[in-house]
Amino acid sequence: MPFVNIKVTQGGVTADQKQELIKGVTQLLVDVLGKDPRTTFVVIDEVDTDNWGIGGQSVTELRKQGT
Amino acid sequence: MPFVNIKVTQGGVTADQKQELIKGVTQLLVDVLGKDPRTTFVVIDEVDTDNWGIGGQSVTELRKQGT
Amino acid sequence: MPFVNIKVTQGGVTADQKQELIKGVTQLLVDVLGKDPRTTFVVIDEVDTDNWGIGGQSVTELRKQGT
Amino acid sequence: MPFVNIKVTQGGVTADQKQELIKGVTQLLVDVLGKDPRTTFVVIDEVDTDNWGIGGQSVTELRKQGT
Amino acid sequence: MPFVNIKVTQGGVTADQKQELIKGVTQLLVDVLGKDPRTTFVVIDEVDTDNWGIGGQSVTELRKQGT
Amino acid sequence: MPFVNIKVTQGGVTADQKQELIKGVTQLLVDVLGKDPRTTFVVIDEVDTDNWGIGGQSVTELRKQGT
């Protein structure tokens, strides 16, 4: 009965890519820990680049600076 | 001082239902653990059905298949 | 398919009380939103009082001061 | 490699204020624990006032009542 | 810069299995979204079976009943 | 009514340092957003280095390799 939360920055993640993430991480938990996929939940959060910081700066700022 | 996070799929949850969830879970913590409701926080996250997976498939896909 | 995370301070929460929290919050989601209990997850986190802060002070400190 | 999640109610938080929160909390982790800012992540969640409860009521309701 | 949190029930997860989960989910984010592995974080939480509920019962209880 | 969760790797974080983190982040939310400290919660999670991954490797492994 695992629960997986994946946080990524918002922008251009397609429904197909989300489906691939859900399928891939569920299979990983089957392969590594023998978990039952029927009770494996995955929740994807897409976070605005203004709201995600690394190294003390927002991703919006970092992208403007080309880093 | 409990903190409760409730994640549900998005779609049609009304402000009244949210109010009922907040009231109900706060009262539960009073009844079971004797917690002070004034310092009990509840945060509800509504998640797009594309972003929630069970059994390796998104809820969007599962609903299309009628399961 | 709701997911609920309950965070409380550590100390004296019995297995029976945890069972009551799990049962109560699951029933609340059935009653208010008509959710299927079989795919309702509840995870309880017990947090050391040194690691929980309110008003800028740890709960350990607040309890020493009798507040 | 700290990870910090800040949840606040939605409404009027500017990109500059978010930048100040990201910078401030990253610096705090440098100052207190000597953490490397390059691997310090901050994610800010803005929560609808209908979806945040205190004392058994939503913040939307509390603000209507002027409390 | 993804952040992934994996919650599983406690009991017998080895350091090697944790390493496989970390490696596998990081690679998945590279493959599906082209994310930089150097800024991909994975945090695994192991949850006591008393503290995890499904269908209104703790996993401890469910295992006693052989379900 | 902000809620802040700080995740750091386990090991040697003292009660005084936790108190400084709680005080500092609460003050930051007062200074930047004018939040009421009495309803500002901070929860610190200390994560085993086996359970935290960066770049596809656990922090335990990374430290062995001197990186």
Give 10-residue mean pLDDT values along chain F (67 residues): 96 96 98 96 98 97 88
Q: What per-residue confidence (pLDDT) applies to E18?
A: 98
Handedness of CA C26, B10, D17, A10 (dihedral sign): positive
pTM (2 decimals)? Answer: 0.97
* Active-site residue, C37 included: no
Q: Which residue reads 């970092």 in tokens?
A: A62
Domain boundaries, chain E: 3-64
Chain D residues with CB-CB distance to F52 below 8 A: 1
Distances in whole angstroms, Cα of residue C25 to Cα of each of C2, C39, D14, E18, F63: 10, 13, 35, 31, 41
- Is residue F58 within 8 angstroms of chain D, CB to CB? no
Task: Find the length of chain C.
Answer: 67
Determine the 3-state secondary structure of D1 from DSSP.
coil
Residue type, F55: G
pLDDT digits (tens, 9 = 90+) for A12-58: 899 999 999 999 999 999 999 999 999 999 999 999 999 999 999 99
- Average pLDDT value for residue range E49-60: 97
Ramachandran region of residue B35, left (φ > 0), alpha (ψ -120 to 50) or beta? beta
The Cα F21–Cα D11 span in angstroms is: 26
Q: Are F46 and F10 in contact (CB under 8 A)?
A: yes
- C31 pLDDT exceeds 70? yes
pLDDT digits (tens, 9 = 90+) for B2-27: 999 999 999 989 999 999 999 999 99
Helices (H), ranges, chain D: 15-33, 59-64
Q: Give how far E65 is from chain F: nearest CA, Å.
A: 30
- Is residue F46 within 8 angstroms of chain E, CB to CB? no
Chain A residues with CB-CB distance to B65 below 8 A: none
Q: What are phi and psi of B49, to 5 degrees?
A: -65, -20
Q: What per-residue confidence (pLDDT) applies to C67?
A: 65
Question: How would you class F15 by CB atoms within 10 Å of its CB: exposed for 0-12, middle for 13-18, buried for 19 or more?
Answer: middle
Distances in whole angstroms, Cα of residue B45 to Cα of each of B1, B6, C55, C60, D8: 20, 6, 25, 30, 13
The Cα D4–Cα D40 span in angstroms is: 8
Query: Any idea of the CA torsion for C14, C15, C21, C26, to the nearest 10 degrees?
Result: 180
Chain E residues with CB-CB distance to D40 below 8 A: none
Choose from E9, E43, E50 for mutation: most chain C CBs within 10 A.
E50
Please answer yes or no on whether A1 and C41 come within 8 Å at the CB atom: yes
CA atoms within 13 A on the CB side of B28: 26
The Cα B50–Cα A44 span in angstroms is: 9
Q: Are A25 and A8 in contact (CB under 8 A)?
A: no
CATH no., domain D3-64: 3.30.429.10
Q: Which residue has the higher pLDDT, C67 or C8?
A: C8
